Chain A
Amino acid sequence: MTPERLADRLRSVPGGRRLLAAVIAVLVVAAAIGLAVIGSSDSSVKVSSQFIKATPEGTKRVELDTTLYLPAHTPAPAVLLAHGFGGSKDSVAGEAKSLASHGYVVLAYTARGFGRSGGLIHFDSPKYEVNDASLLVTYLAHLPQVAASGGHRQIAVAGGSYGGALSLLLAEQDKRVRAVAADITWNNLTAALYPNAAGTQAGVFKKLWAGDLFSAGLPPGNTTSCGRYAPDVCAAYQASLRLGVPTPGLLAIMKAASPATAISKITAPTLLTQGEQDSLFPLSEADANARGIAANGTPVKVVWRSGGHDTGSGTATATNAARDWFRAAFARKVGGRQSFELAEQGSVVSASTGRVTAETLRAAGYPGLRGRAPAPIVTQVVGRPQSINAPAGGIPAAVSSIPGLGALGTFASSVAVPPSPLQTASFVSPVFDRGALIAGAPSVAITVSSPTAGNATLFASLRDLSPDGTESLPAQLVAPFVVPGLKANKPKTVTVALPSIVHTVPSGHRVVLTISTTDFAYQLPTVARQYTVAVANPAPLKLPTISGTVLRAGHPMAWLFAGIAAVVLAFLAVGFVLRRLRRVLRFDPALAEIPVHIDNLVKEYAGGYRAVDGVSLTVERGQVLGLLGPNGAGKTTTLRVLVGLILPTSGTVHVFGEPIVPGAAVLSRLGAFIEGPGFLPHLSGRENLRLFWAATARPQDEAYFDTALDIAGLGSSVDRRVRTYSHGMKQRLGIAQAMLGLPELLVLDEPTNGLDPPQIAEMREVLQRYAATGRTVVVSSHLLAEVEQTCTHVAVMHKGQLVAAGSVAEIAGAGGMQLAVGDPERAAAILAEAGITAELVPARRALEDVFLDLIGEDA
């Protein structure tokens, strides 16, 4: 069955038109949703895997497991995608597909020593991992699908953490790389794993993270303690842990793996994204990378994003930023000045979840470069020198963050254990009268002394103190530092760089400089010590800040203007359409004195059914017209057209010369009672009439309330709620409502429906008196006897057509003559003598008269 025939079938079924419209609507909506979902998914990306030869391990052949993602349109620029430590090419499959669907050739590979790739882990060694990446760049350069421009193949490299450092090292070593995007990676691995906020020598060992990282490189089902690590890496690590300080071998390995050594050699434009919640490679690592790269004049852009190693979230921001960066880099649109974006945590309440989320700020340039840092917020901390002790064995220790718990998100802060007061020295700032955004690493000078000699291991942090006493640690970051060569009772002052954070201090809060002796994530000395910590009184504290604007997408005002335009348009459109659709009908002065003039009225419904078919009728003043006809004759439809409730298909209706349209003013000269009463059930009868009249906005004295209420004849019931009335009471009240204002034309449809005989007789009398004043009444009924007694004129309708119209006498009077005699018995005798059969029949009285006599006057 063709769609047209199906549509026709549906249309002919009753209600079929609506069904068809509903089916079409559902199909359109489903198609729209389907297209939206399909359009957003990545299709037409070709994926193929192969093993590529890499740097041999001694004499052993090594191959890397790679996957090539080809976009829909080639040739295209290429991206080499490196994964983080402990992952494989599958960990970056999502990013690869996303980049490929945006038109890049992507080569994702598993680094040596992981997954199905061969070789051993040399930890981003230039001779092994970086050389492997270089060989992969060679492979990409020979692919026909990779685009070229200006004699160079368009090849970029991106990666996070382990892969990020690899990207930077590769860019230093291999000039064929044209753009770099490094996410959450390090600059100086020694400074990352042995941080010292007070100097450059190796500091406190980040033991939890280091152990976590090391075990990430051991494959499952591992039987040896070194797994797939290269023997020198494994030996160096284990020796350093045994000794408690980094061995020269480990230092050499870490130095070789750090971009810091040769970072100024990078000429490819570089994007550095760093996580704000990252205790492994904090924001200071990206800062160092940025300065190093910019020193060569290479364009570098810095983005501080939410997430990082502590939470594992926020990678989508990094991927999107990388994509935009590559597009600009390959189009050679990367300028010298790059904007700086950072995420302001806890700055806005999300409308969809009701939770507090971060917001992205954009500043004109990275403050660490070009010396154009905005003026810092100057405050100070005060406090007396305090004595704190480092416990034996480092137990009990404060817990600031635990690697691996990061996946639990906000729960990380709830398992944090603040340092005990015995281990903490606090120095408080004055109350902030305005909110302050700290973006960067403040620094402060701290004086430490101890009764015993030796290096001091301490942890500094900046906490947020709210008015009700709760302290919070921004991003759960602490800065470990070592005060070397402390002599007994000889204070030594060091300048400590506090953790690099992005934090808004709300107004009314204070900041607290906290120095403590323990932190669970770090290697603590086992010997119990005691320290006295002091700061200058007061100690100036310069909080680096940034002035950025919120990254607003889109133009919200455009939406508001669209809304206002829609309102104006709707207004105009409705006005225009209504004016066009209104039929132009004019006042006919010839009919000014004729109450009702219906001319060839036709009302046709859908499907061709004609309820009223060419009715023409005139009612003169003072007449009581009875509209007769069986059920379904069209009487009610005609009356509804007369009152302006239904629009005729053709033909006109004039009342006192004015054409009838819905809302015509001449309808105020007409009172109607159509198809039963209509009252507000929660109001009394009197209230209903009063509010009905008030709705006409006509003066009160024109209402003739008393007359109307007398006609209703409800007595004291008129003050009860209409919902308590019987049908007959409502009927009488409805007729009384129609008579409010004593209109010149009264239109009543079945007025006696539900009334008892005395009330019917009453109604008859009222209508006759009404007509006697010169007013006109139109009554519709199918009670023939009633119409005969009440009306002066009659119109009979049948199947929508007028079959007879005229005075009652004309219509009903046709027939023979009647003879009235004074003495029936003598007349019968005379007729019998004349030979005419005559029979005396007793006269019948009208049942109504008998009934009325029986029930008496006070019915």
Chain B
Amino acid sequence: MSQETPATHRGVHDRLAALGAGRPPTFEPGRTLPLRVEFERQLKRRRTQLAALVLMVLPIIIALAFKLGGTAGNDAPSLVHLATVGGANFALFSEYVSVGFLLVVVVALFCGDTVASEASWSSLRYLLAQPVPRGRLLRQKLIVALALSAGANLLLPLWSLLVGGLFFGWAPARSPVGGSFDTGASLLRLALVVVFVCGQMLVVASLAFLLSVTVDNPLGAVGGAVMLVVVSNILDQISALDPYRHFLPTHWNYSWVDTLSSPIRYDDMLRGTGTALVFASVFLAVAWLRFDRKDVTS
């Protein structure tokens, strides 16, 4: 240490000199990383805004395509034929085309990006050193990611309902099996569809979250979760696997069409929810166990 301190450049040194000794702080590890804070950290990201933009532009493009293009061919699924009947049918059709891939990608994006992007920005170690206990960090991040995914799942049908109503009118929803529902019944069925699809997306969300914890690259986490969905869809097409197909994570993705028959048939939706819960709990349990023991080198 030098004999005399060099000339100070700023008055901060004096402020430091006037400090007393440090005191132990008021701190509760169980209250760190409040949800509000995590939401603020995630909402301002460009990817959140881009995803919302895509989800809002897509129904408008579809509506324009129907307006300009005309009706579907003969062997198209029946939901396509009814898409231009009114707002509720248009919302069902948008849901039908988005469940397979678009919503999967959006959910994988929100859930696969949380921990992995903190690792890639090097801010994860600072959060953990605050300290935010590992389990609490995962819990808060998962809650925010699932909330954003649920928001996306809700945004698409509601916005499609609005767009469909503006483009095609507000006629009561017509079911492909021939009946039609009044407004209350169609909103109830749409709500059931949204709840069920959220449940199905839990599989993708939990796998993306697990990959997010395991790899330090956000794109790897998102891509890995999407790959699982693609592989599962491919295996689902092979009818030789028949009794075992029921256990694939994406097999029940479209079972929400059962809400369109009257009375509503709950069988396949119950099976799908059960499957999704099993996969989600396995993936999340592994994520928790891995993160607790992990050496954070990012």
Give chain A's interface residues, CB within 8 Å of chain B. 32-33, 36-37, 40, 346-356, 410-411, 414, 435, 466, 504, 506-509, 550, 552, 554, 556-564, 566-567, 569-571, 573-574, 577-578, 581, 640, 643-647, 656, 662-665, 667-670, 672, 674-683, 691-692, 694-699, 702, 707, 710-711, 713, 737, 741-744, 758, 761-762, 765-766, 768-770, 772-775, 789-792, 808, 852, 857, 859
Contacts and interface: CB of A to CB of B under 8 A. Distances in A.
B1 A789 contact: yes
A715 to B, nearest CB: 11
Nearest to B133: A663
B53 interface: no
Nearest to B96: A354
B122 A414 contact: no
B7 interface: yes
B27 A765 contact: no
A507 B297 CA distance: 65
A856 to B, nearest CB: 11
A789 B2 contact: yes
Interface of B: 1-2, 5-13, 15-17, 19-22, 24-29, 31-34, 36-38, 40-41, 44-46, 74-75, 77-80, 96, 121-136, 175-180, 240-242, 244, 252-258, 260-262, 265-268, 270-271, 273-278, 280-282, 284-285, 288-289, 292-293, 295-297
A682 B41 CA distance: 9
Contacts of A765: 5-6, 8, 13
Q: Which of B132, B241, B285 has the most CB of A within 10 A?
A: B285
Contacts of B38: 695
Contact of B292 (A354, A581, A762): A581
Contacts of A350: 257
23 contacts: A349-B176, A349-B260, A351-B258, A354-B96, A356-B177, A507-B179, A559-B270, A573-B285, A640-B297, A643-B129, A646-B297, A647-B293, A662-B134, A665-B29, A677-B122, A682-B46, A697-B34, A707-B12, A761-B6, A762-B10, A773-B20, A773-B21, A774-B21
Nearest to A745: B22
B268 A578 contact: no
Contact of B270 (A557, A571, A697): A557
Contact of B12 (A351, A710, A758, A791): A710
Nearest to A688: B123
A769 B258 contact: no
Nearest to B19: A773
A697 B140 CA distance: 13
A354 B100 CA distance: 13
Nearest to B137: A663
A354 B78 contact: yes
Given A351-B268, A354-B96, A646-B297, A702 B25 contact: yes
Given A349-B78, A682-B44, A857-B9, A668 B292 contact: no
A675 B296 CA distance: 12
A518 B166 CA distance: 46
Given A647-B293, A697-B28, A667 B16 contact: no
A562 B271 CA distance: 10
A682 B293 CA distance: 30
A570 B287 CA distance: 11
Contacts of A37: 240-241
Contacts of B25: 668-669, 698, 702, 741, 743
Given A697-B34, A773-B22, A351 B252 contact: yes
Nearest to B34: A697
A761 B10 CA distance: 12
B22 A743 contact: yes
Contacts of A769: 13, 16-17
A354 B5 CA distance: 80
B274 A563 contact: yes
A702 B19 CA distance: 13
Contact of B266 (A352, A435, A556): A556
Contacts of A692: 126, 130
Contacts of B26: 698-699, 702
A316 to B, nearest CB: 12
A84 B278 CA distance: 48
Q: Which of B10, B11, B19, B241 has the most CB of A within 10 A?
A: B19
A647 B295 contact: yes
B240 A36 contact: yes
B270 A560 contact: yes
B240 A352 contact: no
A680 B276 contact: no
Given A567-B277, A808-B1, 6 more contacts: A349-B78, A354-B80, A668-B131, A678-B126, A707-B15, A762-B10
B262 A707 contact: no
Nearest to A699: B26
Given A644-B129, A668-B131, A770-B16, A566 B1 contact: no
Contacts of B130: 667-668, 692, 695-696
Contacts of A567: 277, 280-281
A160 B89 CA distance: 42
B92 to A, nearest CB: 10
Given A349-B257, A570-B284, A707-B15, A695 B122 contact: no
Contacts of B13: 765-766, 769
Contacts of A349: 78-79, 175-177, 257-258, 260-261
A852 B77 CA distance: 78
Nearest to B237: A352
A482 B36 CA distance: 81
Contacts of A676: 122
B78 A348 contact: no
Given A578-B289, A758-B9, A351 B257 contact: yes
